[in-house]
Amino acid sequence: MYQTGTSSALYERVRHVIPPIEWPVFEDDIDTILRLKRQRNAIILAHNYQTPEIFNCVADITGDSLALAREAMKAEADVIVLAGVHFMAETAKLLNPSRTVLIPDTDAGCSLAESITPADVRLMRQRYPGVPVVTYVNTSAGVKAESDICCTSGNAKQVVESLGVPEVIMIPDEYLARNIAAQTNIKIIAWAGHCEVHERFTPADIRSFRDSHPGVVVLAHPECPPEVVAEADFAGSTAAMSAYVDSHRPSRVVLLTECSMSDNVAVRHPTIEFVRPCNLCPHMKRITLGNIRSALEEMRNEITIPEAVAVPARRAVERMLAVKG
């Protein structure tokens, strides 16, 4: 049915999660994006929450925010398109400042990043003098610039423990902070930011999945409330959840995270039954093939960060990347 265009061969990758009737809508954009990437010497970094046609058909590198940060730092392409939210594009620019970094939609934000400002961090420091500030990468460059070190959901425990102190301030995700506090003896002072996707899951949801899908294995993201993590079978970053499915191959699984994550893992595991509670991230979903194409055609929405912010923010991100584990 799909004889023409490079994209036709790509359909085989996603046929398990994209119905044939929807595919023609994507083909022209995919062919054009692949051509523009060659013309511009561009690469696309896509977060695990991107839709399957982006994640599987135009992305060069995929992963969680930690993996994308590491790959952005190494990228040799002239142009990096970040198929994710704004703070991810800023992190790519911080780590590879000589590249042109584009975000397909500048309004692709994050409820966590919006929950705290640089002035809030300065107030926290006044209130808890001498206590180091560990900042989740889901924050603006301005907030990172006020921080001692960054972390992701994949390395938060290692980062907190790397500092060799009895107490840290961990911002802005209250639930990530409480979930890490449950795994370490270090006292954690939290901020009241929440991810609008993960805060919606409840322990009652888990019981309902277990009742309606006997034997289902429940994996939760650490941005979920601690009582949800406590009832899950496993908690970890999107990379850790993906690796869990790869290694354990449960026959039935539910991922308590953003909807597209299940689709993208399911592409690799067509025989596993994914129960799909759908909590969409409206910010991640602002990124489409259409605006990736426009960003590359017009070279628009370039990320710039003033040097006075970029220097201390970069230091906080690089300190994180130097932590082993």
Asked if 170 contacts 176 with a C-beta cutoff of 8 angstroms, the reply is yes
Q: What element of type H or E holds 297?
A: helix 289-298
Q: How far is the CB of 136 from ligand SF4 (least distance, A)?
A: 9
Nearer to ligand SF4 by Cβ, of 93 and 283: the residue is 283
Pick the closer one to ligand SF4 by CB: 110 or 239: 110
Question: Is residue 197 within 8 Å of residue 257, measured between CB atoms?
Answer: yes
Residue whose CB is less far from ligand SF4, 32 or 237? 237
Q: Element (H or E) spanning 107, and its range?
A: none
Minimum distance from residue 95 beta carbon to ligand SF4 (Å): 19
Q: Among 30, 195, 245, 254, which residue sits at the site for ligand SF4 (rule: CB under 6 A)?
A: 195
The tokens describing 297, both together, are 């055609």
- Which range binds ligand SF4 by CB under 6 A, 2-10, 183-191, 193-201, 293-301? 193-201
Closest CA to 42 of 262, 244, 266, 295: 295
> How many other CB atoms are found less than 10 A from the CB of residue 312?
15
Of 11 and 136, which CB lies nearer to ligand SF4 in the complex structure?
136
Cis status, amide bond into 172, omega within 30 of 0: yes
238 belongs to the binding site for ligand SF4 (CB under 6 A)? no
Q: For residues 30 and 293, give the distance between their C-alpha atoms in angstroms, rounded to a whole number.
A: 8
Residue given tokens 């960060």 in the structure block: 305
Interaction of residue 112 with ligand SF4, rule CB under 6 A: yes
Work out whether 281 is an interface residue with ligand SF4 (CB under 6 A): yes
CB of 282 to ligand SF4, least distance (A): 8
Which of 56, 111, 135, 262: binder of ligand SF4 (CB under 6 A)?
111
DSSP at 105: -
Q: Which stretch binds ligand SF4 (CB under 6 A): 109-117, 126-134, 162-170, 185-193?
A: 109-117
Distance from C-alpha of 152 to C-alpha of 173, rounded to nearest angstrom: 11
Give the residue, chosen from 18, 30, 110, 149, that forms a contact with ligand SF4 under the rule CB under 6 A.
Answer: 110
Q: For ligand SF4, what does the binding mask look like between residues 133 and 152, x meaning CB under 6 A?
A: -----x--------------
**Phi/psi at 248 (nearest 5 deg)?**
-90, -25
If DSSP codes are grouped into helix, strand and coil, which group holds residue 151? strand
User: Which ranges of 128-214 does DSSP label H, i.e. alpha helix?
Assistant: 141-145, 156-162, 174-181, 203-212
Does residue 263 touch ligand SF4 according to CB under 6 A?
no
H or E stretch including 79?
strand 79-83
Q: How far is the CB of 201 from ligand SF4 (least distance, A)?
A: 12
Q: Which of 120, 161, 196, 233 binds ligand SF4 (CB under 6 A)?
A: 196
| Residue 197 found at the interface with ligand SF4 (CB under 6 A) | yes
Three-class DSSP category at 168:
strand
In whole angstroms, the minimum distance from the beta carbon of 175 to ligand SF4 comes to 11
Beta bridge pairs of residue 218: 254
Helix axes 23-40, 7-14, angle to 10 degrees: 120
Shortest Å distance, C-beta 50 to ligand SF4: 11
Shortest distance, position 190 Cβ to ligand SF4, whole Å: 16
Which range binds ligand SF4 by CB under 6 A, 116-124, 245-253, 277-285, 306-314?
A: 277-285
**Applying CB under 6 A, which residues contact ligand SF4?**
85, 110-112, 138, 195-197, 223, 258, 281, 283-284
